[in-house]
Each structure stands twice: as structure tokens, then as C-alpha cells.
């Protein structure tokens, strides 16, 4: 597959002149998941909408983020699993490692070779919304200008609402020589078909750590540079430490509490990276995974007093921009910063559809969590699975977030290890499980799991956090034998049940 810079990001289909009208009930700027989810519901209810997309329909997730990255990660996981299953492992030549070309080909199938017409255009169109290609910019209340890649402009008008769903883009730290060296961003990393001999990953958040796992499984030498004292700083430090130790066991060089201070690309294409307080390293490629900023620049937000510096657009629980007294401007997905994940965007899409329908139908509408017209879970129960080898899965509060919020909590920890896990895979390496319980109410408010295959364990805890369940109630939730879910028995036993 061609690398990122050869993929046409601006196909010339869906020209604005092909639209049947210039007025729609709702205008979406950006075509990610939240757009599809809400537009589908609005169409069912008889409303009209148009989706403006500057690049490929579908947004970051199917082409540049979740889907290709998970396609790159799964083969390494499956390969490790099969080494622990007698009867199957004898048929696999473990010395040869992964067939990296086949991994890339499978990834290319999942991204439809970055051909939006194969999967994403029909899918987004199935929402019933009209699709138009161009750059969307607010030019007044309920007015959006669409500019095509050839510079033609068209004005669209919204009857009810404009929804900003422009997503986020990578942050490139101001490090001398870094921009000039043209490092990889996540887009290059997930679309490459070449494995650098030595990859330096700058930033040990979710993107950085997932890419460490992927490229280590392809046989690359990997150096990870983290400005924080432990990797994966948004989850419990114990979880970060387990993943770091596993990385180090795989031969990854992890540099904590440091950063790259200067970068230079050499004539042979290699890069020299100077590290603060450490010897410089020569690598074949650098991936910058240092976080993301909201895409707020160039879309006309400043005329409504909103910041355009990459900080999230502040919205209320109905996902509406609060300064907007007539409730016509909304922001969903990464751009509002509430839960920068695809599942967070899908959640916003559901809430948004209910809000727009309620506002269309009733003058005295008050957003309520109970009827799905106010987002709430993205404040206290947003789950996240980090698909490193092994996985980290977490929901709700960590000890650190609880302390920052001044909440008294109890921590319960146990091994993430069960007979079911070992039956699936001989030599299953012990993982770690943690529950965070509110000290006053006894309700579960957070959970973290680290270990191979723990991703699917998470949803039970998410349901328990959203449902406000106590350990007394959870003691009656019996996990089946022999499954990974018996980790929940380990936690209950550690809690004295
Ligand atoms: C490498 C990587 C892996 C990830 N893996 C996961 C994962 O496994 N699970 C998970 O839940 N999340 C994952 N994420 C996060 C996830 O991709 C994002 O949270 C999600 O894509 C956000 O969706 P969105 O709709 O807000 O924005 P996006 O998907 O970014 O879509 C925004 C769209 O708006 C368009 N646009 C922007 N400005 C304009 C404009 N002015 N006019 C017209 N169109 C415009 C853009 O071209 C883009 O198509 C990952 C992210 C990365 C980088
Ligand atoms: N599986 C998933 O759900 C998944 C996967 C990938 C990405 N995402 C989402 O994408 C978003 C972006 O992820 P990300 O990993 O880029 O951001 P992040 O904010 O999670 O991590 C970036 C890390 O880089 C570090 N950093 C910043 N500047 C640095 C520097 N100069 N030197 C060294 N380290 C530096 C930061 O301290 C931080 O730990 C996140 O919101 C994440 O939730 C989700």
C-alpha cells in the first residue's frame, strides 16, 4: 500500500453543486462517528441534514486511527496466544515471527485501501444525510460556507442547528529540528508498509504505547521517550509500570522523565535525536505521539467569541455551546474534549440526536440525563481499552483522579489470572485488577484491568459504575467458569466477599 503522502485526501466526488437544495435542518462540519450516529436518527424522524467533509468520509477512525492501528496490533497478540496453546503452537514456526507483509495486507483490507467509496461513503450515506466535499466554515448564525479544493464556494443554511465535529489533530512539540525532520505522525505510523529498523516513539500516551507494541511485534528496535515519570500517565501508575516492564522485557528502551531536545535528519534518511540528560540516539524514524489538539482553527469560531487555539470547544451537557442563547451551535466528538475516543463520539451522537429532536418539538425543553438528552457518562464513566500487549482497560475514577477531586475512595486489587485464562493460554502471565470504591456509599466508581485479553472484561465494570452498584450487589453477579471473568471473583475475595 502506498504511504500516507500518496493517498488522495481530496477526491473530487460530492461536489456542492450536486446538492438538491442549500437549506437543511442540520449542517454537520466533519463526518466522523458522532455525525453518522446522530444523522441516522434525525433522518428516521423526518429531518434533513448535510454532512460537509474536507477529506475522506468517515473521519479519522476508519482510515487513520482505531481501525488500522488495531489491525496492526491484533496479529502480534494472536501470535503470542498461539505459542501458549499446545496442539496449535506445534504448527507455527515461532522463530520466524510475524509475516509482516501479510499483517499490512490485512490492515489494507480493513481500510479498504483508503478508498472511501468501497465502504465509508455507502456507510455514511446510509444515514440518509446528504454528503458534500469541501472545507466548512461558519460565516454567521446558521450559515456555513463550503469551499472546494479548487476554490469554489457555496453557502448552506441550517434551519435548526450547525454541529461542529471537526475532530482533533496531532500536537507537534516545539523541539528544534523536529518539524524540519518531517517525523511520522500517527497517520504515517498506521498506514506504513515499511517497518523502520529503529523507531523512536516520542510520547508514552495511548497512541505511543500502542505503536510501541505494534512495531516491537514486527521486529523493530523501539525506543520510547516519555516526559512523564511513568508511561500511560492517564491510567493508574501501577498499570503503566506493568506495561513498561513488559516493554522492557521485549527489548524496548524506555526513557522516563525526559524528552527529545533536538532532532536532525541525516542525508541517509536516519535521524539523530538528542535526549535531555542522556546520550543521543540514532534512529531510522521518529513517531510523534505527544497528544492532540481540537481542530478549531479556520472554521469561523472567533466571530462567536470562541477560542481557536486548539483548546476544546466548551459545551454544556446537551452538547450545545453555552454562549449560544438560541441553541443552534453544537460541538461533538474530539473537538469538545469531553471524551476523545470513538465510543465517546458515538455516545455524543446519540445524545445530540435526542437533543435536536426535543428542541425541535418543545419550546420548554430541559436536558435530562434520565431521558438521554444530557451527556453524563463522559464525566464519570467513560471506558477506554488500550490495545497494547498486554491490554489496559479502565473506566471511571483512578486513585489519582479521586484524590484530585477530593473524593475518599477504597482501592481493591487482585491478580488478573484465572483458570479460564490459563486454559486459553498456557503460561498466561499474571495481570492486575483494581476496583475503586467510594468510601462513603460503597459504590463502585472505577476499575482498571491489565493483562492479556482483559479488554472484554471492562464492560461489566462500566455497567456497574453507571448503575451505581455496591460490592454487596456485585457479590451476586456470578461469573461463568472457566472464563476470564472470574477475575471478578478475585476482586470480590480481596474485598472480603
Ligand atoms: C492512532 C489512533 C488510534 C486510535 N484508536 C482508538 C481506538 O482504538 N478506540 C477509540 O475509541 N478511539 C481511538 N482513537 C481516537 C479516535 O480516533 C477519535 O476519538 C475519533 O476519531 C474522534 O472522532 P471525531 O468524529 O470527533 O473526529 P474525526 O474522526 O477526527 O473526524 C473529523 C472529521 O472532520 C473533518 N473536518 C475537519 N475540519 C473540517 C472542516 N472545516 N470542514 C469539513 N470537514 C472538516 C476531518 O477531515 C475529519 O474527517 C485513536 C486515535 C488515534 C490517533
Ligand atoms: N485505544 C484507544 O482508545 C485509543 C488509541 C489511540 C488514541 N486514542 C485517543 O487519542 C488521543 C491522543 O492520544 P495520544 O497518545 O497522542 O495523546 P496523550 O495525551 O494520551 O499522550 C501524549 C503523551 O505524550 C507526552 N508528551 C507530550 N510532549 C512530550 C515531549 N515533548 N516529550 C515526551 N513526551 C511528551 C505527554 O506527557 C503524554 O503522556 C487520546 O485522547 C486517546 O484517548 C485512543
Grid look-up 482497560 returns: 393
Cell of 166: 471537526
Task: Answer whether 205 contacts ligand 1 (Cβ < 6 A).
Answer: no
| Omega before residue 436 within 30° of 0, cis | no
Annotated binding site for NAD(+): 203-210, 291
Q: State the distance between the two ends of the chain, measured CA to CA, in whole angstroms.
A: 54
Tell how strand 153-164 and strand 23-29 pair up.
parallel
Residues of the chain with CATH 3.50.50.60: 4-63+111-169+293-377, 186-290
Cα–Cα nearest to 305, from 324, 327, 318, 320: 324
Give the three-state DSSP class for 5.
helix
State in Å: Cα 3 to ligand 2 middle.
23
CB-facing half-sphere around the CA of 76: CA atoms within 13 A: 25
Task: Answer whether 211 contacts ligand 2 (Cβ < 6 A).
Answer: no
Top-level CATH class of 186-290?
alpha beta
CA angle, 225 as apex, 389 and 260 as ends, to 5°?
160
Contacts of 229 (CB under 8 A, 6+ apart): 237, 256, 257
| CA 156 centroid distance within chain | 31
Judging by beta carbons within 10 Å of its beta carbon (0-12, 13-18, 19+), is residue 51 exposed, middle or buried?
Answer: buried
Contacts of 174 (CB under 8 A, 6+ apart): none
Task: Answer whether 168 contacts ligand 2 (Cβ < 6 A).
Answer: no
Annotated binding site for FAD: 70, 136, 166-168, 334
Task: Answer whether 292 contacts ligand 2 (Cβ < 6 A).
Answer: yes
Cell of 104: 499490512
Judging by beta carbons within 10 Å of its beta carbon (0-12, 13-18, 19+), is residue 451 exposed, middle or buried?
Answer: buried
ipTM given for this complex = 0.97
CA angle, 79 as apex, 73 and 85 as ends, to 5°?
140
Question: 188-224 in b/e burial notation, b at 16+ Cβ within 10 A?
Answer: bbbbbeebbebbbbbbbbbbbbbbbbbbbbbebbbbb
Contacts of 372 (CB under 8 A, 6+ apart): 350, 351, 354
Grid look-up 500517565 returns: 233
User: According to DSSP H, which parts of 340-486 are helical?
Assistant: 342-361, 377-380, 399-404, 419-424, 458-466, 471-474
Task: Answer whether 210 contacts ligand 2 (Cβ < 6 A).
Answer: yes
Q: Give the number of other Cβ atoms within 10 Å of residue 101's Cβ.
A: 9
Per-residue H/E/C for 89-111: HHHCCHHHCCCHHHHHHHHHHHC
Annotated binding site: 70, 136, 166-168, 203-210, 291, 334
Cell of 445: 466508581
Which residue's CA is minimally distant from atom 37 of ligand 1? 166
Give the three-state DSSP class for 339.
coil
State in Å: Cα 143 to ligand 2 middle.
34
State in Å: Cα 432 to ligand 1 middle.
31
State in Å: Cα 265 to ligand 1 middle.
29
Grid look-up 488478573 returns: 416
Pocket test for ligand 1, best of 27, 32, 206 (most atoms within 8 A of CB): 32
Task: Answer whether 312 contacts ligand 2 (Cβ < 6 A).
Answer: no
pLDDT tens by residue, the chain, 497 residues? 556 788 999 999 999 999 999 999 999 999 999 999 999 999 999 999 999 999 999 999 999 999 999 999 999 999 999 999 999 999 999 999 999 999 999 999 999 999 999 999 999 999 999 999 999 999 999 999 999 999 999 999 999 999 999 999 999 999 999 999 999 999 999 999 999 999 999 999 999 999 999 999 999 999 999 999 999 999 999 999 999 999 999 999 999 999 999 999 999 999 999 999 899 999 999 999 999 999 999 999 999 999 999 999 999 999 999 876 789 999 999 999 999 999 999 999 999 999 999 999 876 789 999 999 999 999 999 999 999 999 999 999 999 999 999 999 999 999 999 999 999 999 999 999 999 999 999 999 999 999 999 999 999 999 999 999 999 999 999 999 999 999 999 999 999 99
Task: Answer whether 383 contacts ligand 1 (Cβ < 6 A).
Answer: no
| CA 359 centroid distance within chain | 30
Options 3.20.20.80, 3.50.50.60, 3.10.450.50, 3.30.930.10; CATH for 4-63+111-169+293-377 is 3.50.50.60
Structural contact between residues 256 and 246, judged by C-beta atoms closer than 8 angstroms: no
| Integer Cα distance of 143 and 137 in angstroms | 9
Top-level CATH class of 390-494?
alpha beta
Residues of the chain with CATH 3.30.390.30: 390-494
Global pTM reads 0.97
Amino acid at each position: 500500500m502506498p504511504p500516507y503522502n500518496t493517498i488522495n485526501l481530496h477526491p473530487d466526488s460530492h461536489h456542492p453543486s450536486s446538492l438538491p437544495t442549500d437549506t437543511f435542518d442540520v449542517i454537520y462540519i466533519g463526518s466522523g462517528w458522532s455525525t453518522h450516529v446522530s444523522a441516522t436518527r434525525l433522518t428516521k424522524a423526518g429531518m434533513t441534514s448535510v454532512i460537509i467533509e474536507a477529506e475522506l468520509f468517515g473521519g479519522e477512525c476508519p482510515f487513520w486511527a482505531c481501525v488500522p492501528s488495531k489491525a496492526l496490533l491484533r496479529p502480534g497478540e494472536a501470535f503470542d496466544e498461539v505459542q501458549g496453546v499446545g496442539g496449535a503452537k506445534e504448527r507455527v514456526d515461532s522463530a520466524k515471527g510475524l509475516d509482516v507483509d501479510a499483517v499490512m495486507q490485512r490492515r489494507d483490507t480493513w481500510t479498504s485501501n483508503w478508498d472511501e467509496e468501497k465502504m465509508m461513503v455507502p456507510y455514511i450515506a446510509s444515514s440518509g444525510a446528504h454528503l458534500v466535499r469541501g472545507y466548512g466554515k461558519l460565516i454567521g448564525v446558521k450559515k456555513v460556507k463550503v469551499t472546494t479544493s479548487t476554490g469554489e464556494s457555496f453557502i448552506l443554511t441550517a434551519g435548526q442547528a450547525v454541529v461542529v465535529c471537526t475532530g482533533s489533530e496531532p500536537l507537534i512539540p516545539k523541539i528544534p529540528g523536529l518539524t524540519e525532520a518531517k517525523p511520522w505522525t500517527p497517520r504515517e505510523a498506521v498506514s506504513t508498509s515499511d517497518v523502520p529498523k529503529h523507531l523512536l516513539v516520542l510520547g508514552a500516551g495511548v497512541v505511543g504505547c500502542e505503536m510501541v507494541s505494534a512495531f516491537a511485534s514486527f521486529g523493530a528496535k523501539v525506543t520510547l521517550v516519555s516526559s512523564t515519570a511513568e508511561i500511560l500517565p492517564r491510567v493508574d501508575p501501577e498499570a503503566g509500570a506493568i506495561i513498561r516492564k513488559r516493554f522492557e522485557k521485549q527489548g524496548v528502551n524506555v526513557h522516563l522523565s525526559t524528552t527529545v531536545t533536538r532532532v536532525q535528519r541525516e542525508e541517509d534518511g536516519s535521524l539523530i535525536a538528542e535526549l535531555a540528560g542522556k546520550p543521543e540516539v540514532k534512529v531510522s524514524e521518529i513517531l510523534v505521539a505527544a497528544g492532540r489538539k481540537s481542530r478549531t482553527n479556520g472554521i469561523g469560531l472567533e466571530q462567536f467569541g470562541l477560542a481557536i487555539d486548539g483548546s476544546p470547544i466548551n459545551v454544556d451537557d446537551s452538547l450545545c455551546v453555552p454562549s449560544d442563547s438560541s441553541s443552534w451551535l453544537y460541538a461533538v466528538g474530539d473537538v469538545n474534549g469531553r471524551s476523545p475516543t470513538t465510543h465517546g463520539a458515538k455516545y455524543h451522537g446519540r445524545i445530540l440526536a435526542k437533543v435536536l429532536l426535543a428542541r425541535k418539538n418543545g419550546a420548554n425543553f430541559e436536558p435530562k440525563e434520565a431521558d438521554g438528552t444530557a451527556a453524563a457518562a463522559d464525566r464519570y464513566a467513560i471506558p477506554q481499552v488500550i490495545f497494547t500487549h498486554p491490554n489496559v482497560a479502565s473506566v471511571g475514577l483512578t486513585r489519582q483522579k479521586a484524590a484530585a477531586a477530593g473524593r475518599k475512595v477504597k482501592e481493591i486489587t487482585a491478580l488478573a489470572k484465572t483458570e479460564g485464562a490459563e486454559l486459553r493460554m498456557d503460561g498466561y502471565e499474571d495481570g492486575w485488577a483494581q476496583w475503586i470504591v467510594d468510601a462513603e456509599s460503597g459504590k463502585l466508581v472505577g476499575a482498571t484491568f491489565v493483562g492479556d485479553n482483559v479488554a472484554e472484561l471492562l464492560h461489566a465494570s462500566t455497567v456497574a459504575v453507571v448503575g451505581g452498584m455496591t460490592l454487596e450487589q456485585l457479590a451476586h453477579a456470578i461469573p461463568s467458569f472457566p472464563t476470564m471473568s472470574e477475575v471478578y471473583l478475585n476482586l470480590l475475595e480481596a474485598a472480603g466477599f
